Amino acid sequence: MAIALSIIGAALAAFCVWLTVRIVNRRERWARWTALSLPIVLPLLYVFSFGPACWLAANDTQTGHAHSIYWLVGASVPSEHTLWGDFVFWWGKLGIPDGHSVWVPLALDGTKHFHLR
Protein backbone atom coordinates (compact mmCIF):
# COMPACT_ATOMS: atom_id res chain seq x y z
CA MET A 1 0.00 0.00 0.00
CA ALA A 2 2.82 2.42 0.86
CA ILE A 3 4.51 1.75 -2.48
CA ALA A 4 1.28 2.44 -4.37
CA LEU A 5 0.76 5.73 -2.52
CA SER A 6 4.37 6.73 -3.21
CA ILE A 7 3.94 6.04 -6.92
CA ILE A 8 0.66 7.97 -7.05
CA GLY A 9 2.23 10.89 -5.16
CA ALA A 10 5.23 11.00 -7.50
CA ALA A 11 2.96 10.87 -10.55
CA LEU A 12 0.82 13.71 -9.21
CA ALA A 13 3.91 15.83 -8.49
CA ALA A 14 5.27 15.17 -11.99
CA PHE A 15 1.92 16.10 -13.51
CA CYS A 16 1.84 19.37 -11.56
CA VAL A 17 5.35 20.29 -12.69
CA TRP A 18 4.49 19.47 -16.30
CA LEU A 19 1.29 21.53 -16.10
CA THR A 20 3.17 24.47 -14.58
CA VAL A 21 5.65 24.39 -17.45
CA ARG A 22 2.77 24.39 -19.94
CA ILE A 23 1.22 27.42 -18.23
CA VAL A 24 4.40 29.46 -17.76
CA ASN A 25 6.37 28.68 -20.92
CA ARG A 26 3.67 28.11 -23.50
CA ARG A 27 0.80 30.12 -21.96
CA GLU A 28 -1.79 27.59 -23.02
CA ARG A 29 -5.36 28.31 -22.00
CA TRP A 30 -6.36 24.65 -21.51
CA ALA A 31 -3.53 24.24 -19.00
CA ARG A 32 -4.83 27.16 -16.95
CA TRP A 33 -8.33 25.71 -16.89
CA THR A 34 -6.96 22.33 -15.90
CA ALA A 35 -4.95 23.85 -13.05
CA LEU A 36 -8.01 25.76 -11.83
CA SER A 37 -10.22 22.67 -11.92
CA LEU A 38 -7.83 20.35 -10.03
CA PRO A 39 -8.76 21.63 -6.53
CA ILE A 40 -12.39 20.82 -7.34
CA VAL A 41 -11.96 17.55 -9.22
CA LEU A 42 -9.47 15.79 -6.93
CA PRO A 43 -11.63 15.98 -3.76
CA LEU A 44 -14.62 14.77 -5.77
CA LEU A 45 -12.61 11.81 -7.03
CA TYR A 46 -11.59 11.05 -3.44
CA VAL A 47 -15.19 11.02 -2.20
CA PHE A 48 -16.53 9.06 -5.15
CA SER A 49 -13.77 6.44 -4.84
CA PHE A 50 -14.98 5.71 -1.31
CA GLY A 51 -17.84 3.51 -2.56
CA PRO A 52 -15.73 1.21 -4.76
CA ALA A 53 -13.19 0.90 -1.92
CA CYS A 54 -15.98 -0.28 0.40
CA TRP A 55 -17.22 -2.73 -2.22
CA LEU A 56 -13.75 -4.19 -2.65
CA ALA A 57 -13.25 -4.37 1.12
CA ALA A 58 -16.55 -6.25 1.50
CA ASN A 59 -15.24 -8.97 -0.80
CA ASP A 60 -11.98 -9.20 1.18
CA THR A 61 -12.71 -12.13 3.48
CA GLN A 62 -9.62 -11.56 5.62
CA THR A 63 -10.18 -8.05 6.97
CA GLY A 64 -13.37 -6.43 5.73
CA HIS A 65 -11.87 -3.01 6.52
CA ALA A 66 -11.89 -0.04 4.17
CA HIS A 67 -8.46 1.44 3.64
CA SER A 68 -7.29 3.95 6.20
CA ILE A 69 -7.00 6.66 3.53
CA TYR A 70 -10.80 7.01 3.78
CA TRP A 71 -10.78 8.02 7.45
CA LEU A 72 -11.55 11.60 6.38
CA VAL A 73 -14.82 10.53 4.74
CA GLY A 74 -15.74 8.53 7.84
CA ALA A 75 -14.85 11.36 10.19
CA SER A 76 -16.90 13.86 8.17
CA VAL A 77 -20.14 11.98 8.85
CA PRO A 78 -21.71 13.43 12.03
CA SER A 79 -24.51 10.84 11.97
CA GLU A 80 -26.35 8.66 9.52
CA HIS A 81 -29.41 10.93 9.65
CA THR A 82 -28.01 13.93 7.78
CA LEU A 83 -27.95 14.52 4.04
CA TRP A 84 -24.18 13.93 3.87
CA GLY A 85 -24.38 10.93 6.20
CA ASP A 86 -27.21 9.37 4.18
CA PHE A 87 -25.20 9.83 0.97
CA VAL A 88 -22.02 8.31 2.42
CA PHE A 89 -23.87 5.31 3.87
CA TRP A 90 -25.85 4.80 0.65
CA TRP A 91 -22.76 5.08 -1.57
CA GLY A 92 -20.73 2.77 0.65
CA LYS A 93 -23.49 0.12 0.85
CA LEU A 94 -24.48 0.25 -2.82
CA GLY A 95 -22.16 -2.49 -4.06
CA ILE A 96 -21.87 -4.59 -0.90
CA PRO A 97 -23.41 -8.04 -1.41
CA ASP A 98 -25.84 -9.44 1.17
CA GLY A 99 -24.09 -11.07 4.09
CA HIS A 100 -20.96 -8.93 3.77
CA SER A 101 -20.00 -5.89 5.80
CA VAL A 102 -17.27 -3.25 5.93
CA TRP A 103 -15.68 -1.33 8.77
CA VAL A 104 -14.91 2.26 7.76
CA PRO A 105 -12.26 4.11 9.81
CA LEU A 106 -13.23 7.28 11.67
CA ALA A 107 -9.73 8.13 12.88
CA LEU A 108 -6.35 8.04 11.20
CA ASP A 109 -4.91 5.66 13.78
CA GLY A 110 -7.70 3.14 13.08
CA THR A 111 -9.08 3.01 16.61
CA LYS A 112 -12.65 4.05 15.75
CA HIS A 113 -14.83 2.61 12.99
CA PHE A 114 -18.40 2.63 11.75
CA HIS A 115 -19.98 -0.46 10.30
CA LEU A 116 -21.61 -0.71 6.85
CA ARG A 117 -23.79 -3.78 6.36
Rounded to whole angstroms, what are the CA distances from 9 to 12, 45, 65, 72, 96?
5, 15, 23, 18, 29
pTM: 0.70
Q: What is the pLDDT of residue 64?
A: 57
Nearest to 12 by CA among 42, 36, 32: 42
Backbone angles phi, psi at 5, to 5 degrees: -65, -35
pLDDT tens sequence across 42-88: 899 988 988 888 888 877 665 556 677 788 888 888 766 889 888 88
Whether residue 117 has pLDDT greater than 70: no
